[in-house]
C-alpha cells in the first residue's frame, strides 16, 4: 500500500487515518512525525519503521519492541556529510568568521589587530563517538588536534580511533571545542544546560549537529552574550522551522543552518538506498540494519 501526504510532517491523526485505510507493512520515516504506541498498535500488519536518517527520538521504541516491529536507521550513510559540516563549523568559528563578517558589514577593518587561532594543538571534545563522532575524530586528529570523547553515563569505546576517553565532566572542563553527536534520550535531554556551560572553559566553542533536545537554547544564547562561550553553531532547533522568537537567532557569533547536515547529494542517495534495503530485508524476513 502506498501512502501520500500533502504536508511535510503529518500529525498523529493523519498517520492513523492512513494506516487505518488498509494494511501497512512498512513506514519510511523522514523527519520527525510522531510514531506513537497508538499508531503502532493500529497498524497491525506493520513489520518495520525505517528511518531515513539517524535519529529515532520520535518513535515509541518500547511500543515497537512490544509489537515485534523492527526500527532501523541509515545514519552511517550520512555520517561523512554530518562530520564535514561539524568540522566546517569548527573551522569557521575558530577563525571568527561570523564576527568578522558582521564587522566588515559595519565598516570595520580588523587586519591590523586581529590574530586568529589555529586548530592544531587545540582540544576537541566529542560527546557521542558513533559513526559521525568517529569520522570527526579522525579528521580532527589529522589536523593536529587533541581529541577527547565522552559518553553520557559512561565512557565511550574508542577502539582504534585517535581518541582519549574521559568522563563527561572532564570533557567539559578540558575541551576548547565541544561537539555533540549523541542521540536524544531521556538521559541526554538538556545535557548542555546552564550548569554544564558553567563547567566549560571560558571562550569555548559549542557545536550541535545532533539533536536540539540535547541543549538548553536560552542558556547557550546567554552564554554567547556574556562571552562565556566564544561561539556556537547549530543545525537543529527546538522548533523546526525555527521559531522567530528562538533566542539563538539574536545571539552573537553563532552559525545557524536549517537542519541540513546530512543533505548532500551523495549522502541523500546513500541514505535512500540503505533505507530501502532495510525495508526489503524486513519484508523478506532477513536481517535489517542497523537497528535501533
Catalytic residues: 211, 240, 259
Q: Which helix (H) or strand (E) holds 288?
A: none
3-state secondary structure of 285: coil
Q: Residue 285 has which C-alpha cell? A: 524476513
Distance between CA 146 and CA 124 in Å, rounded?
6
The one-character DSSP state at 108 is -
CA dihedral 173→158→154→126, nearest 10 degrees, is: 40
CA distance 21 to 39: 13
Three-state secondary structure call for residue 166: coil
DSSP letters spanning 208-255: E-S-GGGB-HHHHHHHHHHTSEEEEEES--SSSSPPTT-GGGG-SSEE
Amino acid at each position: 500500500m502506498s501512502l501520500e501526504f500533502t504536508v511535510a510532517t503529518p500529525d498523529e491523526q493523519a498517520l492513523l487515518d492512513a494506516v487505518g485505510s488498509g494494511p501497512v507493512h512498512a513506514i519510511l520515516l523522514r523527519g520527525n512525525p510522531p510514531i506513537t504506541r497508538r499508531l503502532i498498535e493500529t497498524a497491525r500488519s506493520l513489520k518495520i519503521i525505517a528511518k531515513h536518517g539517524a535519529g529515532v527520538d520520535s518513535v515509541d521504541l518500547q511500543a515497537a519492541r512490544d509489537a515485534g516491529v523492527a526500527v532501523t536507521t541509515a545514519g552511517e550513510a550520512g555520517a561523512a556529510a554530518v562530520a564535514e559540516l561539524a568540522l566546517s563549523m569548527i573551522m569557521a568559528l575558530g577563525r571568527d568568521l561570523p564576527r568578522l563578517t558582521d564587522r566588515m558589514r559595519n565598516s570595520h577593518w580588523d587586519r591590523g589587530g586581529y590574530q586568529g587561532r589555529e586548530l592544531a594543538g587545540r582540544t576537541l571534545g566529542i560527546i557521542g563517538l558513533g559513526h559521525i563522532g568517529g569520522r570527526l575524530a579522525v579528521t580532527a586528529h589529522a589536523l593536529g588536534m587533541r581529541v577527547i570523547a565522552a559518553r553520557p553515563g559512561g565512557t565511550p569505546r574508542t577502539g582504534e580511533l585517535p581518541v582519549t576517553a574521559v568522563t563527561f565532566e572532564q570533557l567539559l572542563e578540558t575541551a576548547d571545542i565541544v561537539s555533540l553527536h549523541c542521540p536524544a534520550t531521556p538521559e541526554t535531554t538538556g545535557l548542555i544546560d546552564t550548569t554544564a556551560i558553567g563547567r566549560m572553559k571560558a571562550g569555548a566553542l559549542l557545536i550541535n549537529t545532533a539533536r536540539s533536545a540535547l541543549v538548553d537554547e536560552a542558556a547557550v544564547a546567554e552564554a554567547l552574550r556574556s562571552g562565556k562561550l566564544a561561539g556556537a553553531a547549530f543545525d537543529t532547533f527546538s522548533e523546526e522551522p525555527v521559531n522567530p522568537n528562538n533566542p539563538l537567532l539574536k545571539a552573537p557569533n553563532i552559525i545557524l543552518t536549517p537542519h541540513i547536515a546530512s543533505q548532500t547529494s551523495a549522502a541523500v542517495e546513500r541514505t535512500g538506498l540503505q533505507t530501502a534495503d532495510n525495508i526489503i530485508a524486513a519484508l523478506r524476513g532477513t536481517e535489517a540494519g542497523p537497528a535501533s
